[in-house]
Amino acid sequence: MIVMKFGGTSIQDAAAITNAVEIIRGRVGRRPIVVVSAMARVTDALLEIAETSRHGYGDALSLIEALRSRHLSTAAVLAQRDAQTDCSSSDAKEKLNSVFSELESLAESVSTLGDLTNPARDAIASVGERLSSIIVAAALQAKGVQAELADSRTFIVTDSRFTSAIPLMKETESKAKSALLPIIHSGGVPVAQGFVGATVDGLTTTIGRGGSDYSAAIIGAALGAEAIEIWTDVDGLMTADPRVVPGAKRIRIVSFGEAAELSYFGAKVLHPSTVLPAVERGIPVFIFNTHNPACEGTIIAAQPRPSRNLIKSIASKRGVTVVNITSTRMLMAHGFLRKIFEVFDRHETSVDVVTTSEVSVSITLDNADRIDAIKRDLDGIGEISVEKRKAIVCVVGADLKFTPGVAARVFGAVASSNVNMISQGASEINLTFVIDESEVERVVRLLHDEFFSEVDCDMFA
Ligand code: ADP
Ligand code: ASP
Ligand code: MG
């Protein structure tokens, strides 16, 4: 049994879906469970529909029509390509229209209330995956695969933190087994939605942007799959984001620990939570390119393999806010850090990088939505300053642990930039620092030149 997850660009139109269907057909013997994202850019469009509805139904309706026409025409093109598809295509059309009716009612009720609650936002955002899964299941059926739509809301059980809900693994495991195993045992291929789940009471939730990778890992762990395959638009996990460094190399094999650090610090190709369920069950994760299926991709496995290059990859994350708290009273005082972290905890704001000196603490935040309230609460503790538009850059490699002089090479390479915070994670496999957002691309390229001007061909391709 394997899980195959297809991202938005991998199913963005009829041609891409045809390609994905061929890839799935080639693996039917391995008993796949297919997990799909929404078609490219659809989740953004749905969130815009949600916001627009707040101010009136009319504008939302025209956005909904654009989505309807994209989905129906994709389904129609796929149906035309295969003469035997009449039955599954009319069925798919009906299902798509029924999801669109639901979307219209949701938008209408948001506009009537003039208020967009997080449960409503999630119900609207979930529509993308529900639509794409209908089309992919029909396209598979049209090619003779016994595909069966599986509604993730019936087996991905989450808490009720709408928009970033956390899966409840125990409940999910038993429900996923009873929903999916009968399909697989009867020779079928379940097609489920990524990103989407439901509370114990059955209210639709989503598990955070980019969360379909995580859904695939949750399902893989729940069913004890042999492998979790993430099918995307690049050849694998690369030495840097190929959009920033066009000459980035593919990493052949990377450890769970390295992949977790890289995704946490910005390597978007993998959602940061994906690795955890896989580690717990020892299930290897593969990253493959839908547009280049012959490529071997990247294997993420338990043990790192030594390499002649000191680091595996460079990740970066923009839009970071730095909060500095300075207090001379901090000197020798215990309980000071606790007070600070309690404030972030109260505002449900997670912190990424922390550095301390004797009189100050600097903390980076990914999500600064509550920054004004956080500042107010921190005020009594010390003097607060906030710096926006910062970025985190992170170099990762299991060998960093054993090699002296890495920091000298990193900071030598970026000597002309103003570096704010420096931290070596407790895992000792990353070195992280903060710079101005405007410097990111230049710094990542400089570091790439420094560390990857020559590559170990056993490790990189
Ligand atoms: P999907 O829609 O398939 O989930 P994403 O857009 O979420 O795809 O992730 C793939 C993108 O991640 C790539 O197009 C690439 O620009 C970006 N990316 C960032 N860092 C890396 C990296 N180190 N290796 C590969 N891709 C990366
Ligand atoms: N469709 C969701 C998003 O765009 C989830 C995903 O693609 O992984 O965030
Ligand atoms: Mg993604």
pLDDT band at 335 (very low <50, low <70, confident <90, very high): confident
**Ligand 1 atom showing the smallest separation from residue 314 Cα:** 23
pTM: 0.95
Best of 215, 243, 268 to mutate for ligand 1, by most ligand atoms within 8 A of CB? 268
Distance CA 179, CA 256 (A): 29
Best of 44, 133, 212 to mutate for ligand 2, by most ligand atoms within 8 A of CB? 212
Q: How far is CA 427 from the centre of its chain?
A: 22
Residue 372 identity (one-letter amino acid): D
pLDDT at 27: 98
CA of 40 to the centre of ligand 2 (A): 8
For 358-394, what is each residue's pLDDT tens digit?
888 999 998 999 999 999 999 888 899 999 999 999 9
Average of pLDDT values for 66-87?
A: 83
For 146-162, what is each residue's pLDDT tens digit?
999 999 999 999 999 99
194 alpha carbon, closest ligand: 2
For 200-230, what is each residue's pLDDT tens digit?
999 999 999 999 999 999 999 999 999 999 9
CA of 230 to the centre of ligand 3 (A): 9
Residue 446 in tokens: 């400089």
Distance CA 261, CA 239 (A): 13
Residue 416 identity (one-letter amino acid): S
Sequence-ordered alpha helix ranges (H) in 305-439: 336-346, 371-378, 406-413
Nearest-CA neighbor of 273 among 236, 305, 230? 230
Per DSSP, the three-state class of 137 is: helix
Dihedral of CA atoms 263, 264, 265, 270 in degrees, nearest 10, equals 20
Instruction: Give the DSSP H/E element, type plus range, for residue 251.
Output: none
Which residue carries 């069925």 as its tokens?
91
pLDDT band at 426 (very low <50, low <70, confident <90, very high): confident
Residue 144 in tokens: 């003779």
Flag whether pLDDT at 444 surpasses 90.
yes
Distances (CA, A) of 311 to 111, 248, 400: 51, 13, 7
pLDDT band at 305 (very low <50, low <70, confident <90, very high): confident
- For 352-384, what is the HEC assignment? EEEEECCCEEEEEECCCCCHHHHHHHHCCCCEE
Residue 154 in tokens: 């019936």
Residue 298 in tokens: 């990247």
Per DSSP, the three-state class of 299 is: strand
**Ligand 1 atom showing the smallest separation from residue 243 Cα:** 16
CA of 294 to the centre of ligand 3 (A): 21
Q: Please, what is the average pLDDT of the chain?
A: 94
* Range scoring the smallest mean pLDDT among 91-95, 238-242, 417-421: 417-421
Check if 297 has its Cβ closer than 6 Å to any atom of ligand 1.
no
* Range scoring the smallest mean pLDDT among 37-46, 71-80, 272-281, 396-405: 396-405
The answer to whether 324 and 420 are in contact (CB under 8 A) is no
Residues forming a β-bridge with 364: 322
Per DSSP, the three-state class of 301 is: strand
Using the Cα atoms of residue 393, residue 397, residue 398 and residue 403 in order, give the sign of their dihedral: negative
81 Cβ contact list (under 8 Å, min separation 6): 14, 18, 142
Distance CA 445, CA 441 (A): 6
pLDDT band at 332 (very low <50, low <70, confident <90, very high): low
The answer to whether 288 and 295 are in contact (CB under 8 A) is yes
Which protein residue's CA is at the shortest distance from atom 5 of ligand 1?
A: 269
pLDDT at 283: 97
The answer to whether 246 and 20 are in contact (CB under 8 A) is no
pLDDT at 11: 98
Phi–psi pair at 398, nearest 5 degrees? -60, -25
Per DSSP, the three-state class of 146 is: coil
pLDDT > 90: percent of the chain: 84
316 alpha carbon, closest ligand: 1
Flag whether pLDDT at 333 surpasses 90.
no
* Range scoring the smallest mean pLDDT among 30-44, 319-333, 391-405, 443-457: 319-333
pLDDT band at 119 (very low <50, low <70, confident <90, very high): very high
Check if 128 has its Cβ closer than 6 Å to any atom of ligand 2.
yes
Check if 243 has its Cβ closer than 6 Å to any atom of ligand 1.
yes
Flag whether pLDDT at 44 surpasses 80.
yes
**Ligand 2 atom showing the smallest separation from residue 44 Cα:** 4
Distance CA 312, CA 395 (A): 8
The answer to whether 230 and 216 are in contact (CB under 8 A) is yes
132 alpha carbon, closest ligand: 2
Distance CA 106, CA 204 (A): 12
97 Cβ contact list (under 8 Å, min separation 6): 68
Query: Going edge to edge, which strands form the sheet with 32-36?
Result: 147-150, 189-193, 32-36, 2-6, 227-232, 285-289, 298-301, 253-255
Flag whether pLDDT at 313 surpasses 60.
yes
Buried b (16+ CB within 10 A) or exposed e, 161-173: ebebbebbeeebb
Please tell me which residue, 434 or 416, carries the higher pLDDT value. 434
According to DSSP, the β-strands at 189-193 and 147-150 are: parallel
CA of 268 to the centre of ligand 1 (A): 5
Nearest-CA neighbor of 368 among 381, 351, 353, 384? 351
Which residue carries 């009273």 as its tokens?
329
pLDDT at 86: 56
pLDDT at 232: 98
**Domains of the chain, start order:** 2-233 (3.40.1160.10), 313-451 (3.30.2130.10)
CA of 133 to the centre of ligand 2 (A): 13
**Ligand 2 atom showing the smallest separation from residue 195 Cα:** 5
**Ligand 2 atom showing the smallest separation from residue 208 Cα:** 9
Which protein residue's CA is at the shortest distance from atom 1 of ligand 1?
A: 7
Per DSSP, the three-state class of 118 is: helix
Dihedral of CA atoms 177, 160, 346, 368 in degrees, nearest 10, equals 90
